[in-house]
Amino acid sequence: MGERASSALPPAALHVLLAIGPGERHGYAIMSEVERITDGSVRMGPGTLYGTIKRLLADGLIEACAAPPGNPRDDPRRRYYRLTTLGQTVAATEVKRIETLLRRSGARAWTTQGPTP
Amino acid sequence: MNRHARAYRLLLCLYPRSFRERFGDEMVTLFAELVGDARRPGTRFGVTRLWTHTMIDLVTSARRERWEDIMRPHHTLGRIVIVAIPVVAIVGLLAAGWATALALIAAGVALAVLQRARLRSTLVGLRGDRWWLTALLGVALFTAGLGSLWLPISSASAWTIGSLLGVAGLGALGLALVSALAAIVRPPATSGAD
């Protein structure tokens, strides 16, 4: 897993990790949060979402957990997911890697057409 | 469950069984919620757009899941079959004509069916409690090999098919012998565990 922690995550995996965040979320909430944090530019379908969840579970980055208390009308078919300690480390490492990348390339101003001198 | 969710559940057959069993209910629940969102007042062509997006997602993700399922470590035979079928077909076509090539493809498909039916554990798992199944398969393959010599095809093709089946049969019989020995050495409760 150390190798995973030091390598770049696939975009979908990073989106899901960031969408789950510090709490617990079910599939619909993860999908909605991904759409929100990307300003609607990333819309995951159910297949992509659960394929990503499957791989994150296999890598030990997230885990299924009980529904948080306080919502008795919640659909019992929903399954909630949360980050494991490793998942939190990997997400934080990845965010730091991207921040470093942006800071080091920060001397140039980027536009949608590419870097400007 | 609305009709859109029912239709989506049917389409989940495109995913591998293990994936469906694990996430199918959640995916259908999620899709039903998305249909609810798409039907909100003021959403133009919401359901149509949802279906378009979902179909694209379905095709790309199902292909990926199918491929990952085949390439799982314990699907060794599946991988071998996938690589072997085109190779043996081409070799057979070049070496002994189309009849042999077709027979080899048929053998490959039969192996794939065996793999699908979870009989691979009998072939490669050295499951001591199933050695007799492996022995039966060996006898069947060897007999089929002998029988193929009388097929109404060219003698070269018949010899190729007969040899392949005969070797496979002898291999299965050898494996059955090892499995039977393993059953004697190990108790069935531990040798049968997957």
Instruction: Tell me what ipTM this predicted complex has.
Output: 0.81
Q: Could A43 and B53 be called an inter-chain contact, meaning their C-beta atoms sit closer than 8 Å?
A: yes
> What's the length of chain B?
194
Q: Is B119 helix (H, G, I), strand (E, B) or coil?
A: coil
Distance (Å) from the alpha carbon of A52 to chain B's nearest alpha carbon: 10
Residue of B30, B32, B26 whose CA lies nearest to B6: B32
What's the CA gap between B185 and B182, in Å, rounded? Answer: 5
Contact A87, A22 (CB under 8 A): no
Residue of A54, A93, A15, A87 whose CA lies nearest to B16: A54
What's the CA gap between B8 and A10, in Å, rounded? Answer: 27
User: What is the mean predicted confidence (pLDDT) over A97-111?
Assistant: 76
Q: Could A27 and B27 be called an inter-chain contact, meaning their C-beta atoms sit closer than 8 Å?
A: yes
Owner of token pair 């609305």: B2
Chain A residues within 8 A of B34 when measuring between CB atoms = 28, 31, 46
CA torsion, ordered A30, A35, A39, A42, to nearest 10 deg: 120
Work out the angle between the directed axes of helices A11-20 and A27-37 (0-180°, nearest 10).
110
Q: What is the per-residue pLDDT across B80-112, written as a single tens digit (0 to 9) for each?
A: 666 666 666 666 666 666 666 666 666 666 666
Q: Tens digit of pLDDT per residue, chain B (194 long)?
A: 688 999 999 999 999 988 999 999 999 999 999 999 888 887 778 889 999 999 999 999 998 898 887 766 556 656 666 666 666 666 666 666 666 666 666 666 666 666 555 545 544 444 555 667 777 887 888 888 777 777 777 777 777 777 888 777 787 777 777 777 766 655 444 333 33
Q: Could B26 and A77 be called an inter-chain contact, meaning their C-beta atoms sit closer than 8 Å?
A: yes
Given a cut of 60, whether residue A1 has pLDDT beyond it is no
Q: Could A47 and B57 be called an inter-chain contact, meaning their C-beta atoms sit closer than 8 Å?
A: yes
| CA–centroid distance for A62 within its chain | 10
Which residues have a Cβ under 8 Å from the Cβ of A60 and sit 6 or more positions away?
Answer: A1, A84, A86, A87
Which residues have a Cβ under 8 Å from the Cβ of A13 and sit 6 or more positions away?
Answer: A52, A55, A56, A61
Residue of B nearest to A48 (CA): B61
Question: Cα–Cα distances in Å, from B89 out to B76, B98, B160, B192?
Answer: 20, 9, 13, 35
What's the CA gap between A17 and A9, in Å, rounded? Answer: 10
